[in-house]
């Protein structure tokens, strides 16, 4: 501002001198005054032009670089330019942070959806799109109630009481593959809402399995306990001859054995789930496991059936498995024992150990029983799942055998496979990886 005043005064002085010098004799004062007025007019006009250039730059060309020289307007333009650049940097930083924030929400395992005050969708991540079947940009600015038509969600949205969330069926829900979503709306800002969704299918399945497990255990234990209590009461209240007493005691022993088998299997499952992985440096003889399975299978067959089964055992190569001997025997005998229980008397059962070309091995049990329908096969390894409950009770099955086989196989890096054709029998096999199998060292 100081230099602006100085330039005006200096200009006036120079104009006055020039007017006084150039004016005719006798008119020097008038000449000086006229020159000062013309100089003042020119200075104001030039200053106004520079101000107009600055205003045009601010209005029409903010990205251009105006050259206004020094003085007030030049300094003003420089300061405005610095402010604009600082503001641009702040905007760029804000956009970068917003981009990072949205990118973080995009990779979130939970669905995130932003709704405006009318319930229209402003933004959603890929997880939310998968949960509700949405697409960008087609569904942006659409009312969420028009796109998600599940009755429970529509009622939740209409009530506008968002203190608690709801559990609803997901877009890909079906009877064969249930999908459950936990949905909760959180109001924020000026009437806007944040809709969070989470896939709780595994939690729902785990809770259902827990309920089924408790119910099945209670039922399986209650049944033999009821039978035992009935026999005990009968023996306490009625006079029985020796033959009746022996028969009742035999039935009581049978029910006690059934309860003991159930408890043993439950303890085995609990131990498998809570214990550390089986060792890889301890080697177990396959021949020993196979011989023990063969002996126990023949004993079981003699107890359950009047005519024992035609049991064929094939051992290919002298091999060893790295792992826990008790777990491996439990898995192998559960497969052989199931074949004995569900194959009619005197029919053939094949048990084999075969070496594979990749260095692994296959333990195989093939029966000639009634077979299993395809819809039952995916659920056979579930606890207490049995195709024929009455037949399982007759033969002493607990419904936990294949669950034990699955756990043991997984702990030893092996894979359980089930193949069956109704009316033609079933084949159960466990394939062990090469790093768990080796040829046994023969003594010299």
DSSP string, 46-78: HHHHHHHHHHHHHHH-TTS-----SHHHHHHHH
Alpha-carbon Rg for the chain in angstroms: 44
Could you tell me the two tokens for 120? 């229209």
Give yes or no for a cis peptide into 137 (omega within 30° of 0).
yes
Q: Are 128 and 198 in contact (CB under 8 A)?
A: no
- Residue 438 is inside which H or E element, if any? strand 437-439
* Domain 277-444 in the same topology as domain 219-275: no
Q: What is the pLDDT of residue 393?
A: 52
DSSP state of 441: P
Q: Which CATH topology does 219-275 take? A: Helix Hairpins (1.10.287)
Q: What is the pLDDT of residue 364?
A: 96
Q: Are 327 and 412 in contact (CB under 8 A)?
A: yes
Q: Are 126 and 106 in contact (CB under 8 A)?
A: yes
Extended strands (E) in 72-188:
111-115, 121-124, 166-169, 180-188
Whole-angstrom distance, CA of residue 422 vs CA of residue 389 = 17
Alpha-helical regions (H) of 275-400: 286-304, 325-342, 389-395
Give per-residue pLDDT as tens, 389-429: 555 555 556 778 899 999 999 999 999 999 998 988 999 99
Extended strands (E) in 6-116:
111-115
Locus of tokens 């033969």: 395
Q: Which CATH topology does 108-199 take? A: Beta-Lactamase (3.30.450)
- Show me where the domains of the chain are located: 2-98, 108-199, 219-275, 277-444
CB-based contacts of 355, cutoff 8 Å, min separation 6? 316, 317, 319, 361, 437
Nearest to 68 by CA among 12, 79, 2, 40: 79
Whole-angstrom distance, CA of residue 223 vs CA of residue 408 = 29
Extended strands (E) in 103-191:
111-115, 121-124, 166-169, 180-188
Nearest to 420 by CA among 360, 328, 335: 335
CB-based contacts of 296, cutoff 8 Å, min separation 6? 333, 336, 337
Locus of tokens 């000449």: 31
Q: What is the pLDDT of residue 444?
A: 43
**Residue 425 — φ and ψ, nearest 5°?**
100, 180
CB-based contacts of 1, cutoff 8 Å, min separation 6? 72
Locus of tokens 């299993």: 372
- Residue 429 is inside which H or E element, if any? strand 425-432
Q: What is the pLDDT of residue 17?
A: 61
Q: Which residues of the chain have pLDDT under 70?
A: 1-12, 14-41, 43-47, 50-51, 54, 57-77, 176, 388-397, 441-444
DSSP string, 253-296: HHHHHHHHHHHHHHHHHHHHHHSPPPPSS-EEEHHHHHHHHHHH
CB-based contacts of 12, cutoff 8 Å, min separation 6? 36, 39, 40
Architecture category of domain 277-444 in CATH: 2-Layer Sandwich (3.30)
Whole-angstrom distance, CA of residue 135 vs CA of residue 331 = 48
**Residue 5 — φ and ψ, nearest 5°?**
-65, -40
pTM of the predicted model, to two decimals? 0.55
């Amino acid at each position: 501002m100081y230099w602006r005043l100085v330039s005006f005064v200096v200009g006036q002085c120079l104009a006055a001198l020039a007017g006084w010098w150039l004016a005719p004799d006798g008119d020097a004062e008038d000449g000086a005054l006229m020159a000062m007025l013309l100089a003042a007019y020119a200075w104001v006009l030039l200053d106004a032009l520079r101000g107009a250039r600055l205003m045009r730059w601010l209005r029409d060309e903010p990205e251009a670089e105006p050259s206004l020289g020094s003085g007030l307007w030049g300094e003003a333009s420089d300061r405005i330019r610095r402010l604009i650049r600082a503001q641009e940097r702040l905007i760029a930083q804000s956009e970068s942070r917003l981009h990072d924030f949205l990118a973080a929400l995009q990779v979130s395992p939970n669905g995130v959806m932003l709704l405006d005050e009318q319930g229209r969708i402003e933004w959603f991540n890929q997880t939310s799109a998968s949960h509700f079947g949405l697409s960008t940009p087609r569904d942006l600015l659409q009312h969420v109630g028009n796109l998600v038509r599940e009755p429970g969600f529509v009622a939740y949205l209409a009530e506008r009481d968002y203190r608690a969330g709801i559990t609803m069926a997901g877009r890909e829900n079906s009877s064969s593959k249930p999908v459950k979503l936990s949905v909760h709306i959180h109001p924020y800002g000026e009437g806007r809402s944040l809709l969070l969704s989470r896939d709780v299918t595994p939690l729902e399945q785990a809770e259902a399995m827990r309920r089924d497990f408790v119910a099945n255990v209670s039922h399986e234990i209650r049944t033999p306990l009821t039978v035992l209590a009935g026999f005990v009461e009968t023996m306490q209240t009625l006079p029985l001859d020796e033959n009746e007493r022996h028969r009742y005691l035999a039935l009581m022993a049978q029910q006690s054995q059934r309860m003991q088998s159930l408890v043993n299997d439950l303890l085995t499952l609990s131990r498998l789930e809570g214990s550390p992985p089986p060792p890889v440096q301890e080697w177990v003889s396959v021949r020993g496991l196979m011989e023990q399975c063969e002996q126990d299978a023949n004993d079981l067959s003699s107890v359950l059936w009047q005519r024992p089964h035609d049991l064929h055992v094939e051992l290919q190569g002298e091999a060893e498995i790295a792992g826990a001997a008790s777990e491996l025997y439990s898995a192998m005998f559960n497969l052989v024992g199931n074949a004995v229980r569900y194959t009619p008397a005197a029919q053939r059962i094949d048990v084999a150990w075969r070496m594979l070309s990749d260095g692994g091995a296959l333990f195989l049990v093939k029966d000639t029983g009634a077979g299993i329908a395809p819809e039952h096969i995916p659920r056979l390894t579930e606890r207490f799942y049995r195709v024929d409950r009455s037949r399982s009770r007759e033969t002493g099955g607990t419904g936990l055998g294949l669950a034990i086989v699955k756990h043991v196989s997984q702990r030893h890096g092996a894979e359980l496979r089930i193949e069956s054709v109704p009316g033609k029998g079933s084949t159960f096999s466990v394939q062990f990886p090469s790093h768990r199998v080796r040829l046994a060292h023969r003594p010299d």
